[in-house]
Amino acid sequence: MPSPPTSRSKTRRTATLVARARSRQRSRILELEAGARPLEPDAPERDRLMAETHGYAQRFLEELPDRLTYNHDKSAAAEIRTLGVGDGVHPIGRLIDRFDQSVVRTGLLPAHAGHLGYIPGGGLYASALADYLAAVTNEYSGVWFAGPGSVEIENQVLDWMADLVGYPEGSAGNLASGGSLATLTAVVTAREAAGLRANEFERAVFYASSHAHHCIEKALRVAGLGEAVRREVALDDRFRMIPDSLADLVAADRAEGLIPWLVLGSAGTTDVGAIDPLSDIAEVAEREHLWFHVDAAYGGFFALVDECRPRLAGMERSDSIVLDPHKGLFLPYGTGAVLVRDANALRAAHTYHANYMQDTLETEREGRSPAALSPELTKHFRGLRVWLPLLLHGEPPFRACLEEKLELARYFRREIAELGFEVGPEPELTVVTYRWLPDTGQANAFNRALVEATHRDGRVFLSSTMIDGKFVLRLAVLAFRTHLDTIDLTLDILRECVRELEGHPERWAAE
């Protein structure tokens, strides 16, 4: 049936309207594209931005030795808000300047050689370049299907770490953002491997010494096990776990109908750098079917140094272990590693499937995608910042740097004892504890004033802790830039500060 003429012209009109709407929409899209253009700087603009950024980085590294390690005055931090987010645009030079004043020059400067507190971090330049490449290419590293090469890189560096630890074939691991998140992954794996159900959490028992890092407590709570039973295993006179004490506690708990579940051994405690007798703990754990987790966040990479290997023996018998590349491999912050001896246990605790991920399943059967082995899906391409420095520099400089730190810690302990300080045990790794005993007055008050005096000085950064009720100072040598001159400077500063405080008892004796 022929359509009436009116309808034909209507169709034509509709077609014109559709064409106009389409054209309006296209111009709007092009307008928006133009509006978004600053997000994609062109080559000359990239050169300019890079020159400013690189120029700052070069000046920073050149001036670094002359900067303070610690700036007690933190008032400039809040001034970061003088530049409002969402309030217009600013030239990169101005932003970098504000960053320098408010961020880099306040508080602690962890990249500095003088960072000798807590467990120092690093800041390898090669890792900064890797982060730059990872960000520019924005490679996906969550699943092998999308990022086969980046997943290979992550697994390659994890295999290297597993070799270092002494794990057999069939282990797997994950690069997390830090030791705490890596520990959480281990705890969740241990929970699932033991088949613990919610109604058993109150009877599950976790064993550690009083010197275990608090991240395990946090991990237990986050993993839903805040109500688990804690047992504190006794320490020997060098702050190492006594395995017989562990065995006794486990036996008593079994007799009471509890579920002995997880034991944590430290390969380098934060307080004093003590290494628990890992082989003996492994013995008890194997006999009692406990999950044996080793916290090697601080000490793990000392396995690269021959001298330390015997002290770390037994870590290869653990079920899971955490190492922190942003400590012992001197990486910038943002990378902690967990390794699990039985890859299937790690996988069983973390693998999920979703329809929108169906394209990835075929290759996923190999099962070594980070997404199948960790809580994350999309993640920072952390593998590259570990891989690049290791392949660019090779292992020998890492070994030398770690061995240097061991010698520096021993050197400091001898020299500080010579200055008249009371010193803690010979370090197993690179932490030295020490305190000054004033002729009169409270030793704790004196040493608190002493550490505060060093903070006001700021040329180096020292921290303190309490050991058996005694306030002691700690020296932790792990920053890769720390060398002999830094330690000599530290000795000078401590000598000066003690002299000053001894001459002014009113500054500390009032307490």
- Is 187 among the residues that bind ligand PLP (CB under 6 A)? no
Between 154 and 271, name the residue whose CB sits nearer to ligand PLP: 271
- Using CB under 6 A, count the residues that bind ligand PLP: 13
Instruction: Classify residue 9 as exposed, middle or buried by CB count within 10 Å of its CB (0-12, 13-18, 19+).
Output: exposed
Residues forming a β-bridge with 231: 207
- Is 179 among the residues that bind ligand PLP (CB under 6 A)? yes
Between 119 and 339, name the residue whose CB sits nearer to ligand PLP: 119
Nearest one of 397, 370, 401, 416 to 177, comparing CA atoms: 370
CB of 180 to ligand PLP, least distance (A): 3
- What is the Cα–Cα distance from 197 to 163, expressed in whole angstroms? 33
Helices and strands (H, E) in the chain, number of each type? 18, 13
User: Residue with CB nearest ligand PLP?
Assistant: 179
CB of 270 to ligand PLP, least distance (A): 5
Between 243 and 273, name the residue whose CB sits nearer to ligand PLP: 273
Options 117, 336, 427, 458; binder of ligand PLP; rule CB under 6 A: 336
Cα 318 to Cα 114, 262, 263, 366, 448, distances in angstroms:
34, 11, 10, 24, 38
Task: Name the 3-class secondary structure at 474.
Answer: strand
CB of 179 to ligand PLP, least distance (A): 2
| 472-491: contacts with ligand PLP (CB under 6 A) | none
- What is the Cα–Cα distance from 148 to 129, expressed in whole angstroms? 21
Options 262, 297, 462, 491; binder of ligand PLP; rule CB under 6 A: 297
- Is 386 among the residues that bind ligand PLP (CB under 6 A)? no
Radius of gyration of the chain (CA): 28
Give the distance, in angstroms, between the CA of residue 444 and the centroid of all CA atoms in the same chain.
Answer: 31
Options 154, 316, 319, 324; binder of ligand PLP; rule CB under 6 A: 324
Residue 180 backbone phi and psi in degrees, to 5 = -65, -45
- What is the Cα–Cα distance from 236 to 250, expressed in whole angstroms? 18
Between 178 and 277, name the residue whose CB sits nearer to ligand PLP: 178
- What is the Cα–Cα distance from 378 to 360, expressed in whole angstroms? 14
- What is the Cα–Cα distance from 302 to 267, expressed in whole angstroms? 10
Options 108, 113, 119, 282; binder of ligand PLP; rule CB under 6 A: 119
102-110, 294-302, 363-371, 467-475 -> range binding ligand PLP (CB under 6 A): 294-302
- Is 178 among the residues that bind ligand PLP (CB under 6 A)? yes
Options 295, 316, 376, 428; binder of ligand PLP; rule CB under 6 A: 295
Site string for ligand PLP, 196-235 (x = CB under 6 A): -----------------x-x--------------------
**Which spans of this chain sit near ligand PLP (rule: CB under 6 A)?**
119, 178-180, 213, 215, 268, 270, 295, 297-298, 324, 336
